[in-house]
Amino acid sequence: MLTAYSLVTVVTSERTIDLALPSGLPLSDVVPQVLRYAAPDRAEGGPLTWTLARMGGASLALTQTLQDAGVLDGEVLELRAQADDVRPALVEDVRDAVEDSVDAAGGAWSTRTTGSFVVLAASVTLLLLGIGGWLATSLDVGGGLKGLDDGIAAGTATVVLVGLTAWSGRFVRELDAQWAAGVAMLWAGLAGLDLGSALDLDMAQSLTVATALAAAVAGLCRLLTPAATAHVATGVVLLVAAGFQALVPALGLDGQHALRIAPVLAILVVGVMPRVSLSVGGLASADYRVRHVGQLDLAALQRRYRDSNAILVGSLVGIATVVVVCAAVLDLGGPWDRTLALSLAGAALLRSRLFSRTQHMVPLRAAGIIVATVVLVRFAADSDADTLAFVVPVVAVAAVVGLGLASLPMSEITRARVKRLLNLVEFLVVVDLLVVLVGSLDLYSKLGGII
């Protein structure tokens, strides 16, 4: 029975209180009186308005009265901030519930989505054309595709992609800008290869020119948008590796030695990359400034963190690229080189454990898996016809075993023991990598063999 007052229980996160509330007044007049008795001591987020609601139900409008809402004596009401999104446990209107779910899920196509689609479509198309043109020229097949990597076509594609990078970084997603910048680096590299061929340079020198142009384009993209910070780091790593590849023959040494030494050095310097990224990205200087000079704006600190993180990710991508390319070429060589390629795969997988974040671990682990796959495919191709039928079940069993190990629950003590064991395995793999490198450089034969 409705009366002039409703005897209700008001519940908050901190207290429960019984109150007699006017049934005929709108909640906009009732709630301020309720707040005098039941307001939380600390309102997280500082909501401006409050309302009442049945427990687990929708919020009552401030224009409603308790009588209009059908609130009876003895009911339990919740004092709720208007910002809270508490949906009723039971669906009263299917159409409204579906509309709310669809709106909350997002994903509606918009003008921004159209721009993102255009950028990605253009980037992927130019990426495939660039790879197709390079393969057609390298393999001497493809007819008209062989002209796609000439200087004019490559330069035009690079300019267009740099423009797409600048536009994407400002109007759509950073991911789109990163895609466009990466493809722009590829086309700049193709232009560098064409320039090296026109200057009658050897392959190592042409690669140096190509990576230099790619790094320069990455730097230009970074000037246009911060989304290309990682690309600059990748370009610098590739430029150093290509320069080393060109320097070794210039010193009168075997050019293949650069392919053997460069990936090993890349694996070894992984450990110092976090400190380098902190210094170059400005995060280390920010710590010094806060400790010794004064305060630092939070936005500036966040910007330095993003730059440092992007430099680390880009450097790891560059290192992974060096490992994959060099190992793939080494796998075409003799037994020492093939063993070195396999050792590089294991070292890349284990060295990724230095990091704990997925984006830092993926480049090295992907490189290890790719190199191991290349070695396995080459082994199957050089073996009997029945070898592939044996290799596939082995890979399947390894995948099942890996999933089983990943599904095992481990305590912190067990996890620490496994980590300690893997640290020992990593040490042994790195030692093996150095031993195999010495053999691949043919130093053992010069020293009279291994005793």
* 3-class SS letters over the chain: CCCCEEEEEEECCCCEEEEEEECCCEHHHHHHHHHHHHCCCCCCCCCCCEEEEECCCCECCCCCECCCCCCCCCCEEEEEECCCCCCCCCCCCHHHHHHHHHHHHCCCCCHHHHHHHHHHHHHHHHHHHHHHHHHHHHCCCCHHHHHCCCHHHHHHHHHHHHHHHHHHHHHCCHHHHHHHHHHHHHHHHHHHHHHHHHCCCCHHHHHHHHHHHHHHHHHHHHHHCHHHHHHHHHHHHHHHHHHHHHHHHHCCCCHHHHHHHHHHHHHHHHHHHHHHHHHHHCHHHHHHHHHHCCCCCHHHHHHHHHHHHHHHHHHHHHHHHHHHHHHHHHCCCCHHHHHHHHHHHHHHHHHHHHCCCHHHHHHHHHHHHHHHHHHHHHHHHHCCCCHHHHHHHHHHHHHHHHHHHHHCCCCHHHHHHHHHHHHHHHHHHHHHHHHHHHHHCCHHHHCCCCC
Candidate from 142-156, 236-250, 348-362, 407-421 with smallest mean pLDDT: 142-156
For the ranges 27-41, 64-78, 201-215, 370-384, the maximum mean pLDDT occurs at 201-215
The verdict on pTM exceeding 0.85 is no
As a whole number, mean pLDDT of residues 420-427 equals 90
Confidence of residue 285 (pLDDT cuts 50, 70, 90): confident
Examine the pLDDT at 146 and tell me if it is beyond 60. no
Candidate from 137-151, 208-222, 383-397 with smallest mean pLDDT: 137-151
For the ranges 31-40, 130-139, 381-390, the maximum mean pLDDT occurs at 31-40
Strands 76-81, 50-54: parallel, antiparallel or unpaired by DSSP?
A: antiparallel
Second CATH level (architecture) for the domain 5-105: Roll (3.10)
Examine the pLDDT at 275 and tell me if it is beyond 60. yes
Tokens of 220: 């230009």
Q: What is the pLDDT of residue 46?
A: 53
Ramachandran category for residue 46: left, alpha or beta (phi over 0 → left; psi -120 to 50 → alpha)? left
pLDDT digits (tens, 9 = 90+) for 66-79: 888 888 888 888 88
Confidence of residue 172 (pLDDT cuts 50, 70, 90): confident
Q: Which one has a higher pLDDT value, 269 or 81?
A: 269
The average confidence (pLDDT) of the chain is: 82
pLDDT digits (tens, 9 = 90+) for 314-336: 999 999 999 999 999 888 888 88
Q: Can you give the three-state secondary structure of 61-72, one letter per residue?
A: CCCCECCCCCCC
358: CB partners within 8 A, 6+ apart: none
Examine the pLDDT at 1 and tell me if it is beyond 50. no
Confidence of residue 171 (pLDDT cuts 50, 70, 90): confident
Enumerate the domain spans of the chain.
5-105, 116-253, 273-451
Question: Exposure of 329 by Cβ count < 10 A (0-12 exposed, 13-18 middle, 19+ buried)?
Answer: middle
For the ranges 59-68, 236-245, 413-422, the maximum mean pLDDT occurs at 236-245
Q: What is the pLDDT of residue 386?
A: 66
Candidate from 145-154, 167-176, 213-222 with smallest mean pLDDT: 145-154
As a whole number, mean pLDDT of residues 21-35 equals 85
Confidence of residue 369 (pLDDT cuts 50, 70, 90): very high
As a whole number, mean pLDDT of residues 116-144 equals 77
Q: What is the pLDDT of residue 28?
A: 83
Candidate from 47-51, 170-174, 251-255, 288-292 with smallest mean pLDDT: 47-51
Examine the pLDDT at 21 and tell me if it is beyond 70. yes
As a whole number, mean pLDDT of residues 284-302 equals 76
Q: What is the pLDDT of residue 388?
A: 66
Examine the pLDDT at 376 and tell me if it is beyond 60. yes
Examine the pLDDT at 83 and tell me if it is beyond 80. no
